[in-house]
Chains A and B, each alone.
Chain A
Amino acid sequence: MSWRRFTPLAVLLMLGLLLAACTAPAPTSGQAGASAQPAAASATGGNQKLIWSVEGVNELPGLDPANPQNAQSIQAINLIFGGLVKLDAQLNVVPDGAEKWEVSEDGKTYTFTIREGLKFADGTPVTAGDFAASINRALQPETASYGAAFQLGHVVGAADVAAGTTKEASGVEVIDDRTLKITTDDNVPYFLAQLTYPVTFVVPFQAIEKDGAAWTEKAFGTGPFQVKEWQHNQKLILEPNPNYWAGTPGVAEVELPFFADSETAYQLYRTDGLDIMGSQQNPIPSARVPEVKDSPEFKTVASFAVRYVGFNNKLAPFDSVDVRRAFAMAVDKETLANAVLNGAVGATDRILPPAFAGSQLPIQGLAFDPAAAKAELVKAGYTADNPFPQVTFTYGAEGDNERVATFLQQQWKENLGVDVVLQPLELATFSKSMDTTYLTPADGLQFYLSIWGADYPDPQNFVSQQLRSDSPNNNGHFENADFDKLAKEADTFIGTAEDRLKLYNQAEQIAVDNVGWLPLYVPQFSVLIKPYVQGIVPTGQGLVIPDWTVVTGRSSQ
Chain B
Amino acid sequence: MSQLIGRRLLSLVFVIFSITFLTFIVGYLAPGDPILVMMGPRRDPVLYASLRHQYGLDLPWFQQYFNYVGGLLHGDLGVSYRYQGRSVNDILGNGVGVSIFLGMMALVLSLLIGIPTGILASLRQNSWFDRTSMITMLALFSIPTFVMIPILRAFNYFVLYKNGLPSLPPAGWGTPAHWVMPVIVLAAVNMGYMARLTRSSMLETLQQDYIRTAHAKGLPQRQVVTVHALRNALLPIVTVIGPSLAFVVTGSFVVESLFAIPGVGFIGVQAIGQRDYPVIQGTTVVLAVAVVLMNLVTDILYTVLDPRIKAAG
Q: Which A residues have a C-beta under 8 Å from some C-beta of B? A: 2, 4-9, 11-13, 15-17, 19-20, 23-26, 28, 58-59, 61-62, 64, 67, 69, 141-142, 144, 146-147, 149-150, 159, 162-164, 213-214, 216, 231-234, 257-261, 263-265, 267-268, 270-271, 273, 426-429, 431-435, 438, 450, 452, 472-473
CB within 8 Å for A146 and B83 given contacts A7-B304, A261-B257 = no
> Which of B41, B257, B259 has the most chain A CB atoms closer than 10 A to its own CB?
B41
A267–chain B nearest beta-carbon distance, Å? 4
Known A428-B275, A429-B31; contact A473-B41, beta-carbon cutoff 8 A = yes
CA gap between A435 and B170 in the complex, in Å: 41
List of 10 A-B pairs having minimum Cβ-Cβ separation, nearest first? A62-B84, A233-B262, A428-B32, A213-B85, A472-B43, A20-B104, A267-B170, A260-B257, A16-B108, A23-B100
Closest residue of chain B to A53, judged by CB?
A: B260
B227 within 8 A of A: yes
Contact B108–A17 (Cβ < 8 Å)? yes
B12: Cβ under 8 A from any A Cβ: no
> CA of A95 to CA of B82 in the docked complex: distance in angstroms?
33
Cβ-defined partner of B47 (8 Å) among A23, A162, A234: A162
Binds A, one of B16-24, B58-66, B134-142, B171-179: B171-179
- State A399–B301 Cα separation when bound (angstroms): 47
| B169, CB-defined interface residue at 8 Å | yes
Contact B260 A64 (CB under 8 A): no
Binary interface encoding of chain B residues 77-110 relative to chain A, with 1 for a CB under 8 A from any of its CBs, else 0: 0000011110000110011111011001101100
Q: Which of the residues A8, A231, A260, A264 comes within 8 Å of B231, measured between beta carbons? A: A8
Decide if A28 touches B38 in the complex (CB within 8 Å).
Answer: no
Number of A-B contacts (CB under 8 A): 203
B97 close to A11 (CB less than 8 A): no
B260 touches A58 (CB 8 A): yes
- Provide the bound-state CA to CA distance between A263 and B157, in Å: 14
- Secondary structure at the B interface, as helix, strand, loop or mixed, is helix
- Which of B68-76, B205-213, B266-274 forms part of the interface with chain A? B266-274
Of B94, B157, B231, which is within 8 A of A270 by CB? B157
Among A258, A265, A267, contact of B157 (Cβ-Cβ < 8 Å): A267
For residue B308, CB closer than 8 A to chain A, the reply is: no
Do residues B167 and A271 form an inter-chain contact, with CB atoms below 8 A? yes
Whole-angstrom distance between the Cβ of A154 and the nearest chain B Cβ: 14
A contact residues around B170 at 8 Å (CB)? 264, 267-268, 271, 273
The residues of B that contact A159 with a CB separation of less than 8 Å are 46
CA distance A229 to B2 in the complex (A): 46
- Among A61, A67, A472, find the residue whose CB has the most chain B CB atoms closer than 10 A: A61
**Stretch touching chain A among B49-57, B124-132, B281-289:** B49-57
Q: Using A5-B230, A435-B36, A473-B42 as known contacts, say yes or no to A149 and B47 having CB atoms under 8 A apart.
A: yes
CB–CB A473/B97 < 8 A: no
Could you say which residues of chain A place their CB within 8 Å of the CB of B275? 428
Across-interface contacts of A432 in B (CB, < 8 A): 31-33, 36
What residue of chain B has the Cβ atom nearest to residue A22's Cβ? B100
Shortest CB-to-CB span from B257 to chain A, Å, is 4
B223 to A, closest residue via Cβ: A5
Contact status A61-B83, CB under 8 Å: yes
| Cβ of B8 under 8 Å from chain A | no
Given A216-B84, A435-B43, A268 and B171 contact (CB-CB distance below 8 Å): yes
Residues in A neighbouring B111, C-beta threshold 8 A: 12-13, 16
B226 close to A (CB within 8 Å): yes
In the bound complex, do residue A267 and residue B153 qualify as a contact, i.e. CB atoms below 8 Å apart?
yes
**Contacts A11-B301, A146-B39 known; 11 new A-B pairs at CB < 8 A:** A12-B238, A16-B104, A20-B105, A23-B96, A67-B84, A141-B54, A231-B262, A234-B262, A267-B157, A271-B161, A473-B41
Q: How many whole Å from B204's CB to the nearest CB in chain A?
A: 16
Contact for B42 among A146, A162, A426, CB less than 8 A: A146
Tell whether, in the assembled complex, residue A426 and residue B32 are in contact, meaning their CB atoms are under 8 Å apart: yes
Question: Of B96, B104, B258, which one neighbours A263 at CB under 8 angstroms?
Answer: B258
Q: How far is the CB of B270 from chain A (nearest CB, A)?
A: 8
Report A312 CB to chain B, min CB distance, Å: 15
Is A273 touching B173 in the complex (CB atoms < 8 A)? no
Structural contact, A62 and B85, CB atoms closer than 8 A? yes
Q: What would 29 A/B residue contacts be, using CB atoms closer than 8 Å?
A: A5-B227, A8-B305, A9-B115, A12-B237, A12-B238, A13-B108, A23-B97, A58-B256, A58-B257, A58-B266, A58-B270, A59-B83, A61-B82, A61-B83, A149-B44, A149-B46, A150-B47, A163-B46, A214-B85, A233-B263, A263-B258, A264-B171, A264-B257, A271-B161, A428-B32, A428-B33, A431-B33, A435-B43, A452-B41
